[in-house]
């Protein structure tokens, strides 16, 4: 009788997040773009890299329960469907994060056929644009296409989730977004507290206290809005989930629809507690805020790669305090490099 191979648990919570490109067709001021440096170089993770990685996970029986495909904007990748098919060989639960601007009915049908969970970053349905700070031409195309494609996807049976960043841009019309989402069959709306990643330095004129704190006014309004839904919810679960504080709300007549309020990633340390992340250079991400990564080569043997994965897990932040400790270590390292240069 052949012995059953026990799966190896090398990933954080058996989850993998892959940024297949750092290129995006938008430039949202609050977006950390997975912590990747913003420069003229636009990176696309090759399909061959994905194939090598999947083969390594399969041959070494590493447990992968969920894969999140992100970017940048993943729909800009010319081999996206091939990448999805390859990842489907090692995980049944695949989420695709997109701003939705490039969605077509043909793509939605392809995602539906593959059982993809579509996570759409949408902040408003009431204005002429679903994201802040878009030029007029981009905004018109944005509004015209995204809402139609979301409704088509939901009506086609695709599992659709909204990722909505709470800000002054949309705080007065979020009720309508939530109502519309429930009406058309979106499964979940995640309201995310604004995060001051600002990796491109776009917010220098704004009153942000320091690199790690969310603007107090935005945070206060976020919690006020959350509390309103806590009061009116039929069922409410409030707890800390994988390092991120969440409130799940369900309405009595909409049992399959929920609103989730999420604290920001960085200040709660959730970026490193939820998943193992790979950036568009094919490197393991340790800290998105500070662009800290470490190389990994899936063509190497099990011992070499597993040590890198486990070492990355040990470096993850698990609290706000540890994040400051990590920052101090980084600053010391940078000073040392400067002295030795």
Q: Are 14 and 275 spatial neighbours (Cβ–Cβ below 8 Å)?
A: no
Phi and psi at residue 280, in whole multiples of 5°?
A: -75, -5
pLDDT at 324 over 80: no
* Domain ranges across the chain: 12-340
Per the DSSP assignment, residues forming a β-bridge with 310 are: none
What per-residue confidence (pLDDT) applies to 27? Answer: 75
What per-residue confidence (pLDDT) applies to 20? Answer: 96
What per-residue confidence (pLDDT) applies to 212? Answer: 38
- Omega prior to 283 cis, within 30 of 0: no
- Cα of first residue to Cα of last residue in the chain, in angstroms, is 61
> Which stretches does DSSP call E strand in the chain?
15-19, 66-70, 93-98, 117-121, 159-166, 188-193, 235-241, 244-251, 254-262, 276-278, 283-287, 292-295
CATH class of 12-340: alpha beta
What per-residue confidence (pLDDT) applies to 308? Answer: 95
pLDDT at 81 over 80: yes
Give the pTM. 0.83
Mean pLDDT in residue range 15-27: 90
Mean pLDDT in residue range 285-289: 75
Specify the higher pLDDT residue, 168 or 82: 82
What per-residue confidence (pLDDT) applies to 182? Answer: 87
pLDDT at 16 over 80: yes
Specify the higher pLDDT residue, 106 or 198: 106
Can you say whether the dihedral through the CA atoms of 51, 53, 54, 55 is positive or negative? positive
């Amino acid at each position: 009788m052949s012995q059953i191979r026990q799966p190896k648990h090398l990933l954080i919570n058996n989850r993998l997040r892959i940024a297949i490109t750092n290129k995006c067709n938008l430039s949202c001021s609050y977006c950390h773009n997975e912590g990747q440096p913003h420069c003229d170089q636009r990176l696309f993770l090759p399909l061959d890299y994905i194939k090598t990685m999947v083969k390594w996970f399969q041959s070494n029986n590493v447990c992968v329960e969920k894969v999140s495909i992100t970017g940048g904007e993943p729909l800009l990748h010319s081999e996206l469907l091939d990448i999805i098919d390859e990842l489907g060989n090692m995980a049944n639960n695949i989420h695709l994060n997109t701003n939705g601007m490039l969605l077509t009915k043909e793509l939605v049908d392809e995602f539906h056929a593959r059982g993809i969970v579509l996570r759409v970053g949408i902040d408003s349905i009431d204005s002429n644009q679903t994201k802040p700070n878009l030029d007029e031409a981009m905004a018109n195309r944005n509004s015209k296409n995204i809402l139609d494609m979301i409704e088509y996807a939901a009506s086609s049976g695709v599992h659709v989730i909204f990722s909505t960043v709470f800000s002054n841009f949309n705080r007065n019309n979020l009720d309508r977004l939530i109502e519309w989402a429930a009406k058309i069959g979106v499964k979940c709306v995640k309201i995310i507290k604004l995060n001051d990643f600002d990796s491109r330095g776009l917010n220098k004129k704004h009153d942000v206290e320091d690199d790690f704190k969310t603007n107090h006014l935005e945070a206060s309004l976020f919690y006020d809005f959350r509390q309103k839904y806590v009061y009116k919810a039929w069922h409410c679960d409030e707890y800390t989930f994988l390092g991120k504080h969440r409130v799940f709300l369900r309405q009595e007549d909409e049992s399959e629809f929920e609103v989730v309020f999420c604290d920001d990633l960085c200040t709660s340390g959730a970026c490193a507690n939820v998943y193992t992340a790979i950036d568009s250079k094919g490197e393991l991400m340790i800290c998105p805020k500070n662009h800290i990564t470490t190389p990994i080569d899936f063509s190497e043997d099990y011992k070499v790669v597993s040590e890198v994965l486990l070492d990355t897990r040990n470096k993850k932040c698990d609290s706000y305090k540890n994040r400051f400790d990590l920052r101090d270590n980084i600053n010391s390292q940078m000073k040392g490099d400067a002295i030795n240069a």
